[in-house]
Amino acid sequence: MNGTDIILSVDQLTVRFDASPPLLKRLVTGAKRRTVHAVEAVDFQVERGSTFALVGESGCGKSTIARTIAGIQAPTKGAVSFMGVNVAGFRTRHAALPYRRNLQMIFQDPYASLNPRWRIGRIIAEPILTHRLMTRGAALDARIAELLATVGLSPKDAQKYPHQFSGGQRQRISIARALAANPAFVVCDEPTSALDVSVQAQILNLMKQLQRELGLTFLLISHNLAVVAHMADRLGVMYLGRLVEQGDAEQILARPLHPYTRALLDTVPDPHAPHRPRARLSGEVPSPLAPPSGCAFHPRCPLADARCAAERPEPIRVDAVSVACHAVAEGRIDAAQPDRPKDQQSLEQSGDAA
Ligand SMILES: Nc1ncnc2c1ncn2[C@@H]1O[C@H](COP(=O)(O)OP(=O)(O)OP(=O)(O)O)[C@@H](O)[C@H]1O
Ligand SMILES: [Mg+2]
């Protein structure tokens, strides 16, 4: 990356939640304050026109990062800079408007995210009217028809209500609404995990086509590695609030370095080598209320030693990837494992991995 094309920069982002019992209860029972370490010191950058994917087990902080980028959640520490502007720095709603126009979100559940009492035309018009890009009238109607056609629906669908559509069609409507204000950046939080596999592929292909045509940038959150393999240019692997490995998606998927990434990839069935030995991911994700010392993955890691339990690993670079792992840094992990061709991880094979 050459620095000039960075549309989003996340620097040392930390988000913590206070999950303490109420004060009176603490006084009576002597219970301590409790803090959820949802996101810890996360650093990544997204190049304009590309797709950056975040993966990791449930509860590792993916949606919290998405909400912080969207300005819905304030960071505890660190900064998010979008198109050169500090996201947390807006004093008023008005000041944030141009930023919000350029950054839209698509959510997992196309049932919950569309207002059931509004017609599709009104749902899609809303961002256009909010950002005062057009006023009501024939031009707006034409724009809505154009947006519906863009996502493969009929202009007549503007008169219908959300319940008259299938899940895949509703996600197309969500995409049309996200595109209505001509954004530069779309945050997609599990955009297809509520859909059937065949419909999933259609939506992902539509997203890719729109990205090419409109020069969109995506932040894609998914726990499905097949979806990520299909979409991502760059990939960030999260574990318990931290990025443990990030960089070129193809390299990570072919030659994962971090033991957690390897275990995650091993959950994807491989029809070409069904009996290959697999590093099963054992145990549960520890609680973000009390992250383990040192490397947070050490209690589940087959390669962990005393240093891993005591000292947090700093990221080091290996080719186009940055990875935070003592075993990799010390050469204790076999870096020259056989490549896995990307096409082995097609949508049909994976289902919901991880
Ligand atoms: N408002 C909140 N108050 C307290 N804890 C929260 C809050 N929001 C999120 N958390 C906690 O922060 C952690 C990260 O949550 P987050 O929703 O970001 O995970 P995720 O990676 O998106 O998970 P999933 O894959 O299940 O969607 C979780 O432990 C969650 O319980
Ligand atoms: Mg989530």
Q: What pLDDT is stored for residue 342 in this prediction?
A: 40
Report the nearest atom of ligand 1 relative to the CA of 73.
1
Q: What pLDDT is stored for residue 276 in this prediction?
A: 57
34 lines ligand 1 (CB under 6 A): no
C-alpha–C-alpha distance, residues 284 and 292, integer Å: 13
Residue ID of nearest Cα to ligand 1 atom 28: 59
Answer whether 250's CB lies under 8 Å from 316's CB: no
Question: Within 13 A of 188's CA, how many CA atoms are on the CB side?
Answer: 34
Task: Report how far ligand 1's centroid is from the alpha carbon of 272 (Å).
Answer: 36
C-alpha–C-alpha distance, residues 318 and 316, integer Å: 7
Per-residue pLDDT tens digits of the chain, which is 354 residues long: 444 699 999 999 999 999 888 888 888 888 888 899 999 999 999 999 999 999 998 899 999 999 999 888 899 999 999 998 888 776 676 777 778 889 999 988 767 889 999 999 999 999 999 999 999 999 999 999 999 999 999 999 999 999 999 989 999 999 999 999 999 999 999 988 888 888 889 899 999 999 999 999 999 999 888 899 999 999 999 999 999 999 999 999 999 999 999 999 887 766 565 565 555 677 777 888 989 999 999 999 999 999 999 999 999 999 999 999 999 999 988 754 544 444 444 443 444 443
Report the nearest atom of ligand 1 relative to the CA of 15.
12
C-alpha–C-alpha distance, residues 333 and 238, integer Å: 19
CB atoms within 10 A of CB 87: 21
Cα 195 versus chain centre, distance: 17
17 lines ligand 1 (CB under 6 A): yes
Q: What pLDDT is stored for residue 278 in this prediction?
A: 59
Task: Name residue, tokens 């792992």.
Answer: 325
Query: What CATH class has 6-330?
Result: alpha beta
223 lines ligand 1 (CB under 6 A): yes
Residue in 14, 15, 33, 63 to alter for ligand 1 test, most ligand atoms within 8 A of Cβ: 63
Task: Report how far ligand 1's centroid is from the alpha carbon of 59 (Å).
Answer: 5
Q: What pLDDT is stored for residue 109 in this prediction?
A: 78
Q: What pairing do the DSSP bridges indicate for beta strands 234-239 and 51-55?
A: parallel
Task: Report how far ligand 2's centroid is from the alpha carbon of 220 (Å).
Answer: 11
The H or E element containing residue 239 is strand 234-239
Q: What pLDDT is stored for residue 335 in this prediction?
A: 52
Closest CA to 105 of 226, 224, 220, 214: 220
18 lines ligand 1 (CB under 6 A): no
Q: What pLDDT is stored for residue 353 in this prediction?
A: 41
The H or E element containing residue 226 is helix 225-231
Q: Which long-range contacts (CB under 8 A, 24 or more apart) does 118-122 make?
A: 118/161, 118/162, 119/158, 119/159, 119/160, 119/161, 120/148, 120/157, 120/158, 120/159, 120/160, 120/161, 120/162, 120/165, 120/173, 121/158, 121/159
Strand order in the sheet with 77-82: 35-47, 6-18, 77-82, 85-86
C-alpha–C-alpha distance, residues 19 and 290, integer Å: 12
Closest CA to 284 of 270, 296, 272, 266: 296
Token pair, residue 225, equals 């590695």
Answer whether 297's CB lies under 8 Å from 324's CB: no
Compute φ and ψ for 141, nearest 5 degrees.
Answer: -60, -40
